[in-house]
């Protein structure tokens, strides 16, 4: 069953790609963006991650903790982030423990539905932004999700992707940081 707004975010222990251990509970008193991606080779993942990175200095200034979970291996994530200074803490979860904890969906029909939601253009754009090639790691039917967690550790917004390239809009993350009301329009498939 999907996680919902106003429930306590499930805590977990994980290591980022630098080997630093982290828990959701470590960030009590800070706002968190917990974002789940497909593998590093996915152009939709690349596109959204790089879109978030354009705001990394703003997120840092606002004190937003950004945790990015991937189904790729730590080695691949280290290669992807080599010579980069990403603000997000990248977490490899090839065994899907964190994906299961947060009820991240695998759904082949929703992947096919992506064709009708502009997937081709987004795929091309995401591919153009890769600095090198990566082999796909993970399942073909994984969708992502985004969770905005407040200072007390409660999920304020739970956004489960309905197709490839579907993520919580960046403007809504900014609204969350400003404590503005977010009216997320969900497309349910």
* Mean of the per-residue pLDDT values of the chain: 92
Sign, CA torsion 58/75/13/137: positive
Closest CA to 157 of 165, 145, 149, 169: 149
Give the per-residue pLDDT at 25. 94
Q: What is the pLDDT of residues 111-123, one digit of tens each?
A: 888 887 878 888 8
Neighbouring residues of 78: CB distance < 8 A, sequence distance ≥ 6: 17
Tell me the CA end-to-end span of the chain in Å, nearest whole number. 16
Does pTM top 0.85 for this prediction? yes
Tokens of 95: 């065994």
Number of Cβ within 10 Å of residue 145's Cβ equals 23
Average pLDDT value for residue range 78-96: 95
∠ CA(19), CA(20), CA(22), 5° rounding? 130
Lowest mean pLDDT segment, chosen from 1-5, 22-26, 43-47: 1-5
Residues 6+ apart with CB under 8 A from 38: 44, 45, 70, 71, 138, 142, 143, 144, 164
The fold adopted by the segment(s) 30-177 is Glutaredoxin (3.40.30)
What was the pLDDT predicted at 122? 87
Model pLDDT for residues 40-58, shown as the tens digit of each residue: 999 999 999 999 999 999 9
């Amino acid at each position: 069953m999907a996680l919902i707004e106003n429930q306590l975010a499930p805590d977990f222990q994980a290591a980022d790609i630098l080997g630093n251990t982290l828990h959701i509970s470590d960030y009590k008193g800070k706002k968190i963006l917990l974002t789940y991606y497909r593998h590093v080779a996915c152009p939709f993942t690349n596109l959204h991650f790089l879109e978030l990175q354009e705001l990394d200095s703003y997120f840092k200034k606002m004190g937003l903790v950004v945790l990015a979970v991937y189904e790729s291996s730590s080695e691949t994530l280290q290669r992807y982030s080599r010579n980069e200074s990403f603000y997000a803490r990248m977490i490899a979860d090839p065994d899907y423990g964190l994906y299961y904890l947060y009820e991240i969906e695998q759904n082949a029909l929703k992947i096919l539905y992506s064709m009708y939601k502009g997937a081709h253009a987004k795929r091309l754009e995401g591919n153009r932004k890769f600095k090198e090639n990566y082999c796909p790691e993970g399942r073909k039917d994984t969708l992502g999700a985004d969770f905005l967690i407040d200072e007390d550790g409660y999920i304020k917004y739970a956004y489960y992707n309905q197709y490839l390239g579907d993520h919580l809009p960046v403007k809504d993350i900014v609204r969350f940081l400003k404590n503005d009301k977010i009216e997320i329009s969900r497309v349910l498939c």
